[in-house]
Amino acid sequence: MTTHTEIAAPRRAKWQLKLPLLIWFSIAWLALMLLIAVTGDLWQPYEYQAIDLHARLQPPVWLEGGSWSHIFGTDHLGRDVLSRLVTSIQVSLLVALVGTLIGAVMGTLIGLIAAHFRGWVDDLVMIAIDYQAAIPFMILALAVVAFFSNSLLLFILLMGIYGWERYARITRGLALSSIQHGYAVAVRTLGASPWRIYGRHILPNIANALIVNMTLNFPQTIMLETSLSFLGLGIQPPMTSLGNMVGFGRDYLLTAWWLASLPALVIFFTTLAFALLGDWVRDRLDPTSR
């Protein structure tokens, strides 16, 4: 089966180093997003669900008819777009973060189990990895949502399952090579338990590769979450997420373009910043890769 990591982590590119401006932009943007996510209330002039039917579809302040009371305008129910945007950023980042962490922990654990027990356990894990890698995850997620009906818990779990196989593959490969020679053997002859060998020695040594994969996985989780929410099959109203906002804004493209394009811009800048920064970090952490 084809390995996807090879595609997403291509040959070391030099251009990032010569365009540090882009890296600065990425860091600044992500810092802003983080700030907004942490200090959400400060940025919200209104409750994000507060409906004001007298002020429906108001344009942003810089357009004709806009006012400072709704800087980014209002949606079809008169809800403040800025306030909704802030909550959406919080929700989207949180879901992606929790999802990435679940995937990382699960995948790493499965990879270690495969490497430790080998034999049929390993075979089983490898089949599962191939199987998962062969089917586009979005299709799998859609099927699960169809069969089990949507809920927030299920959705976050789905985001967690996304990408586990890459962590598992990386962990398994690196752990297998570490266990067989060198320091792991040495620590075993000292009488260390497997827990200690994996936890204290092998994991810290392969952490770099796992972190690199996390920088790849995180923006992809954001993309998956926003896509599913855009389709109306992810985060459900009254909760809101960036994809969700774009989805509802799509119906008003002709009359109120800001409804869809503002959250769409936020998504684009965030995923782009992650991609640029991820490439750059990968080069820094892993100068010998490829």
Partner 1 sequence: MTPLYALQKITRALLTVLLIVSTVFIVLRLSGDPAIYVLGLDADPQALDAFRTRWGLDQPIFVQYLQFLSNCLQGDFGYSYFEERDAMEAVLERLPQTLLLMGVTGLFTVLIGIPAGVYAALHHNSWIDRMTMLVSVAGFSLPNFVLGIFLILLFSVTWQLLPTGGSGTWQHLVMPVLTMTVAEAAVFARFTRSAMLEVLHQPYMRTARAKGLRWHQAVRRHALPNAAIPLVTVVGFFVGTLIAGGVVTESVFAWPGLGRLLVTSVANRDLAVVQIIVMLIACSMVLTNLIVDLLYGWLDPRVGSLRTGN
Partner 2 sequence: MIPKSNSPTAQAPLLQVSDLRCAFKSSKRKGFFGPHHLIHAVNGVSFEVNAGEAFGLVGESGCGKSTTAKLILNMAHASGGSVLYRGQELVGLSHQAWKPLRRRLQYVFQDPLGALDPRMTVLDQVIEPLTIHQLHDRNQQRQLATQLLHSVGLQDHQLRKYPHELSGGQRQRVVLARALILEPELLICDEPISALDVSIQAQIINLLQELRRAMGLTLLFISHDLSVVRHLCERVAVMYLGQIVEMGPAKQLFNEPRHPYTQALISAIPKADPGQRSERIPLMGEPPSPAAPPAGCRFNPRCALATERCRNEVPTLVQSGDNHAVACFEAKIPVTEVA
Q: Which residues bind partner 2 (CB under 8 A)?
A: 181-183, 185-193, 196, 200-201, 204-205
Q: Which is nearer to partner 2, 184 or 224 (CB)?
A: 184
CB-CB neighbours of 239 under 10 Å: 15
Which residue in 54, 119, 120, 136 binds partner 1 (CB under 8 A)?
Answer: 136
According to CB under 8 A, which one of 65, 149, 155, 161 is a site residue for partner 1? 149
CA distance 110 to 98: 18
Chosen residue from 104, 145, 214, 235 binding partner 1 by CB under 8 A:
145
Residue 197 vs 235, nearer CB to partner 2: 197
If one asks whether residue 142 binds partner 1 (CB under 8 A), the answer comes out as: yes
Q: Is 25 in the site for partner 1 (CB under 8 A)?
A: no
Q: In the bound complex, what is the minimum distance in angstroms from residue 103's beta carbon to partner 2?
A: 24
91 lies in the binding site for partner 1 (CB under 8 A): no
CB-based contact 197:205 (threshold 8 Å): no
DSSP letter, residue 135: S
* Residues 6+ positions from 242 with CB-CB distance below 8 Å: 85, 88, 89, 91, 92, 226, 229, 263, 266, 267
230 near partner 1 (CB under 8 A): yes
Closest C-alpha among 69, 89, 73 to residue 81: 73
Q: Which of partner 1, partner 2, none does 31 bind, CB closer than 5 to 8 A by kind?
A: none
Minimum CB distance to partner 1, residue 152 (Å): 17
* Cβ-based nearer residue to partner 2, 49 or 208: 208
Q: Does 232 bind partner 1 (CB under 8 A)?
A: yes
Distance of alpha carbon 184 from alpha carbon 60, whole angstroms: 61
| Least distance to partner 2, CB of residue 183, Å | 4
What are the residues whose beta carbons fall under 8 Å from the beta carbon of 56, sequence distance 6 or more? 74, 75, 76, 77, 78
The Cα–Cα gap between 110 and 175 comes to 11
- The single residue listed with the structure tokens 């251009």 is 15
Q: How far is the CB of 189 from partner 2 (least distance, A)?
A: 5
CA distance 60 to 71: 5
Report the residue number, 127 or 186, with the smaller CB distance to partner 2: 186
DSSP string, 34-101: HHHHHTHHHH-SS-TT---GGGTTPPPTTSTT-BTTBTT-B-TT--BHHHHHHHHHHHHHHHHHHHHH
Stretch that binds partner 1, among 32-40, 60-68, 151-159, 249-257 (CB under 8 A): 249-257
Residues near partner 1, by CB under 8 A: 1-4, 6-7, 10-11, 13-15, 18-19, 22, 126, 130-131, 134-140, 142-149, 219, 223, 226-227, 230-233, 243, 246-247, 249-250, 253-254, 257, 260-261, 264, 267-268, 271-272, 274-276, 279, 290
